Structure 1
Amino acid sequence: MKTFKFIIIVCSVLMMIHTAVQAQDKLPVIKATSRTVDVMDGDDFRKGVWRILPDKKPDLYYVIIPHKPHRVMFRTDVDSIAFDTQYNGVYDFIILLNNRDSCFTRIVAKENDLLHFTSNRKSEAQKSDTIPITIGSNDKIFISGSINGSAPLNFQFDLGAGGNIIKKGSLDKIKLKFDGKTILINSDGRHEVPTSSKNTLTVGSMRWENNITWVVGDNMDRGEDGLLGNSLFLDKVVELNYDRKIMVIHDTMPEIGKAYTQHGIILDAGVVPFIQASIKVNGILFTDWYMFDTGFSGYLRISSVLYEKHQLNGKVEKAFSLWGTRIVLPGFEVGGKLFSNVKTLVKSRQPNDSPRGLMGNRLLKRFNVLLDNRNGYIYLKPNSLLHAPDRSNTLMPWIVSITLFLIILFAVAWIIRKRKRSRSMV
């Protein structure tokens, strides 16, 4: 009897293996002669972003906005395949590299390593959490929180950050155990830095228990202890209300008035939001994707690639600048509003530069915002800061005056010193 049961089990296992092999044989196949693959994920096209790795079985690709039904296409140098994705869907196919290596690839319409938090809500009917915000002199958003039971820390809320960063100079305030390393890329360059996983973060009534990884960085202003990014809320709706000075984290999209305009987004690396905005020159609109970067204190920045793409040289004025190249755009349109004579930083050309721009919080603070990470939209409503003067325009004359004064002072001191030397020689 035992022998018979054993035979039945063996036969069942063999049938399962046979079925799995048949299923693999039926997977769609596309061919490639290059390891780099273009990916079109909804509205987000990234050239050469995917690299074929035959050793991974399967090699997982997570869609950037999993809750939003949309098409995802992989395009090799000779072939392509597309799937209409739905939340929780899994889509398998094979990339045949050089007619030799079968690369099993899986598209996953689900969040990768979603960070869950608990909240001390008054009742089950409550569907959101509210925390106060402050706007610093650098136009950035600040919130209070603690790590592993520390004293209150001052965090910048940075939608342009791919993860959560703790300032190197604030490490003595927190109990952290470092257990890894990563590469951090920011305006200071590319550096290998230590990381600490399985930490607890508390912000207002929200608590992330033993699931936060901190990356050590030092590219922050005085008084900042760290950066918190959109990775904390990828299945939520983030509301920034500058009029009431609050940030609200909603479980689902709340009812809003008609004063808000709706804009589709892409999430770079599934985290950092971009929306479309337009440069206006001579009545012509040049529309591109711009990072929605609350962590950039400036107004607007474009890449040299974008500047050359729209042939802006000779069409726009150059602006006085002590740091980098600045231009004055006749018009810039975002959120249904047109801003005139916008001073813009042109980023110097970098390897693999992207033809995308970046909007900083000196501009973004003029709108109350709802970022719907679940469904892939941003809603904007002009607020009381819409017509607030651009601080850079106010400060620039002072900066120029002080700089000229220092130059004159230095020149006078140099002349006086030179005359004294001449007299001493006589």
Structure 2
Amino acid sequence: MKNILLFIAFVFLCNQMAAQKKLPVIRANSFKAVILEEDNGLKTDWNIDPSVKPDIYTVSKISKGSKTVKIKTDIDSIRIKIKQGDKKDFVILLKGKDSCLTRIESQVPKDFSTVQPAFHDSIRLGINGQNTMFVKAALNKTDSLVLNFDTGTSNLSLTAEALKDKIKQSLKAGVNVLSIGNKKYDGFKIYKVELSGHGTDGRFGWDLFDGMVVELNYDLGIMVVHSQLPEYVKKDKAYERLEVKYLDKLFFVETTINQGSSSYKDWFLFDTGYQRTAMLDGPLLREHHFPTTQMKEIKKVIMRGGQGNEIPVITANLESLSLGKYKLKNIPAQLLSESRLVINKRMNILGNEILKRFNVFLDFQNNAVYLKPNKLFNDSYIEKE
């Protein structure tokens, strides 16, 4: 019996070694590598670490189909195709001796559409004169907070002031619960920030609702979290459907801007936490021959980043901006003279001074945004008042 057990163990070990040998292998002489998501251009500096097995890189959410990821070391490279919920292992052979087991994985898609009973959780939605959208929430049942729903961020961020004056409990990683309306959310991280939307104690991101559908109805002043997209939205031709593309923890919609005879179409960050109209990356636009010099300067302002840093910005008149079939004209847009990197990438941003003009359904099941003009659509822009 002992010999039989030894033989079985030997066969198992051989099979494991054979499986290991089948893994793709690339070489490296340096601890530094780069991971590139080819569909969205996200570039991540990667540290090769032999002590972590497997060392896992999680790709941006895949909206449909698959994506290709390129891993490049100082002397070698590999391309890996990955689907939703999939994972692929390979080995980086460091300096010819250390085998670094590395994994590229995609998170399993969340989908609450089959939950019974279906839910439609309605929450009072406020918006102030600074375009900060906010709801009331409770952290761990005890601490009442006013929070900004910021689609340009993820997890939960609380201001230093709120952490000092409003949080009466000891926060422990991985066990915190945020109550919004009748639903409870967990699994998020908590970050400390210096600033949040005007009059709020912090902000929470779209990923809290991954696999759900979020309705922002400014006409009724409500935010509704749905287990699935209401059928009437699909039938109402006034709603314009825009595809969503993800970049790390951010999501984007296709947007077209026009100036004179020039047109530029790109993926813009959908950012309800940005209080102004649109932030345009001047150097990026000029590389695509968009005539930023033809945009009439309105004024100069100082914008503050999430950590309180100052960013000088020129406000200039943009002739038009289109989201699908809907066009907004003569927009006082913020034009950056220098590129501002977000997650190591240049980008243009849609802010809530534009987004508040639509009643919105954010479909995080089918990765789409539905927009319909509301009562604010034709209101004057704050910068021009």
Tell which deviates more after alignment, 246-255 or 94-103: 94-103
Summarize deviations over 1:161-220 as a string: whole Å, max 9, x none.
2220122222322233256xxxxxxxxxxxxxxxx55222211111136x4432222202
Contact 2:148 2:197 in 1 (8 A): no
The aligned counterpart of 2:305 is: none
Q: 2:182 aligns with which of 205, 226, 248?
A: 205
Contact 2:132 2:197 in 1 (8 A): no
Q: Does 1:26 align with 2:5?
A: no
Distance 1:306 1:139, change over 3 A: same
What are the equivalent positions in structure 2 for 1:2-41 lying under 5 Å apart? Answer: 4=1, 6-30=2-26, 35-40=32-37
Q: Does 1:107 align with 2:104?
A: yes
Higher relative contact order (CA 8 A, sep 6+): 2
SS in 2 for 1:14: helix
Q: Does 1:239 align with 2:215?
A: yes
TM-fit CA distance, 1:371: 1.8
Distance 1:272 1:57 in 2: 28
Distance 2:340 2:378 in 1: 37
Which has a greater percent of helix? Answer: 1
Distance 1:80 1:280 in 2: 39
TM-fit CA distance, 1:108: 1.9
Aligned CA RMSD, in angstroms, stands at 2.9
What are the equivalent positions in structure 2 for 1:276-287 lying under 5 Å apart? Answer: 276-287=254-265
Distance 1:206 1:348 in 2: 43
Tell which deviates more after alignment, 93-102 or 333-342: 93-102
SS in 2 for 1:314: helix
What are the equivalent positions in structure 2 for 1:181-260 lying under 5 Å apart? Answer: 197-208=174-185, 211-221=187-197, 223-255=199-231, 256=233, 257=235, 258-260=237-239
Distance 2:155 2:63 in 1: 21
Distance 1:94 1:259, change over 3 A: farther
Q: Does 1:333 align with 2:312?
A: no
Distance 2:257 2:147 in 1: 32
Distance 1:280 1:49, change over 3 A: farther
TM-fit CA distance, 1:31: 5.0
Structure 2 counterpart of 1:359, one-letter code: L
The aligned counterpart of 2:78 is: 80
- Residue identity (%): 29
TM-fit CA distance, 1:328: 1.9
Distance 1:221 1:384, change over 3 A: closer
Contact 1:53 1:103 in 2 (8 A): yes
Contact 2:37 2:59 in 1 (8 A): no
TM-fit CA distance, 1:390: 0.9
Distance 1:25 1:221 in 2: 53
TM-fit CA distance, 1:101: 4.8
Distance 1:315 1:222, change over 3 A: closer
TM-fit CA distance, 1:224: 1.1
TM-fit CA distance, 1:130: 2.0
Contact 2:57 2:105 in 1 (8 A): yes
What are the equivalent positions in structure 2 for 1:402-413 lying under 5 Å apart? Answer: none
Q: Does 1:165 align with 2:165?
A: no
Distance 1:252 1:46, change over 3 A: same
Contact 1:37 1:52 in 2 (8 A): no
SS in 2 for 1:156: strand
Unaligned runs of 5+ in 1: 118-122, 180-195, 395-426
Summarize deviations over 1:21-76 as a string: whole Å, max 9, x none.
111211233456663324226x3122345454444322212232257332222142
Structure 2 counterpart of 1:198, one-letter code: V
TM-fit CA distance, 1:103: 3.5
Unaligned runs of 5+ in 2: 303-312
Q: Does 1:314 align with 2:293?
A: yes
Contact 1:329 1:341 in 2 (8 A): yes
Contact 1:68 1:374 in 2 (8 A): no
Q: 2:123 aligns with which of 131, 156, 161?
A: 131
Distance 2:3 2:62 in 1: 44
Distance 2:362 2:29 in 1: 40
